[in-house]
Structure 1
Amino acid sequence: MKRQGMLNSHISKVLSDLGHTDLIVIADAGLPIPSDVPRIDLALTLGVPSFAEVVEAVSDDMVVEKVVLASEIQENNENTLQFMKKTFSDTEIEFLSHEEFKEKTKVAKVVIRTGEVTPYANCILQAGVIF
């Protein structure tokens, strides 16, 4: 058994397979997931696991060169926005309309669904490289 790092085998496999500029989505419980994009469903109950917990666990194991958020988060979910700015303080953050955000999820390698139930608690993480 692994001593540290990502224990979820499905997420660990996705992270290992990522190439430069590949995208993954971490989603709240309500984000529509395109039918042809693989889903890793972690949602257990309302709020469990939280968006923040999953973002922290994934970003601990992933080189992230860019984060994409829905622009609506700025007006509708200040707490999550501040968490993302703090977590990715040295990373480019791009804002798209929620509709554009949902379109961009169609090219993601995976959508990881959390139990989060606050508005616009979704992000797209673009993979970077370690060199």
Structure 2
Amino acid sequence: MIKHPLLNADMNMLAATLGHTDEVTICDAGLPIPASMQRIDLALTHGVPGFIETVKVWLASSQIEGVVMAQEFADASPEVYQALMAELDNEAERCGRAIPVTYLSHEAFKKRTGISRAVIRTGECTPYANVIFRSGVVF
């Protein structure tokens, strides 16, 4: 059995096969996911699993070098936005590198998910609780 916190087989396979600059989206329960995308659907019920707890496990299991999120996120859902920013600050400290954040309109964000390798859907029911992680390298 693996020792790191990520137990989901599909997410493990995704993390193991990512290359530098590949993108992965973690989203709330309502984000439209293109039919052509790999969907890893974790949603069980409203709020389970949550967006932040899913982000925490993903960050513990993969290297990132940047994030993309909707401009509307901070104003519409400040508590979840601040929690995400705190996790990004923690990750930057752990890896010793700044993690740049790019902001797009929500419409542009939805289009950008189309280039993600996969979309991980949570049970989160907070508006705009979505993030795209750009994969980095560990060296």
Give me the TM-score of the superposition, normalised by structure 2: 0.91
Number of the residue aligned with 1:21: 21
Number of the residue aligned with 1:53: 53
SS at 1:30 equivalent? coil
Q: Show structure 2 runs of 5+ residues with no match.
A: 93-98
Query: What is the CA–CA distance in structure 1 between the aligned matches of 2:24 and 2:10, rounded to whole Å?
Result: 13
Question: Which of 111, 114, 129 is the equivalent residue of 2:119?
Answer: 111
SS at 1:75 equivalent? helix
SS at 1:88 equivalent? helix
- What do residues 41-79 of structure 1 show as CA deviations (whole Å, max 9, x unaligned)? 000010000001100001101101001110001210101
Offset of residue 3 of structure 1 = 3.2
Aligned residues: 131
Query: What is the CA–CA distance in structure 1 between the aligned matches of 2:3 and 2:114, rounded to whole Å?
Result: 34
SS at 2:26 equivalent? strand
Number of the residue aligned with 2:96: none
Query: What is the CA–CA distance in structure 2 between the aligned matches of 1:49 and 1:69, rounded to whole Å?
Result: 20
Pairing of 1:1-131 with structure 2 (within 5 A):
1-89=1-89, 90=92, 91-131=99-139
CA RMSD of aligned residues (A): 0.8
Q: Show structure 1 runs of 5+ residues with no match.
A: none
What is the identity percentage for the equivalent residue pairs of Structure 1 and Structure 2?
44
Amino acid at match of 1:128: G
Query: What is the CA–CA distance in structure 1 between the aligned matches of 2:13 and 2:64, rounded to whole Å?
Result: 16
Query: What is the CA–CA distance in structure 1 between the aligned matches of 2:64 and 2:103, rounded to whole Å?
Result: 16
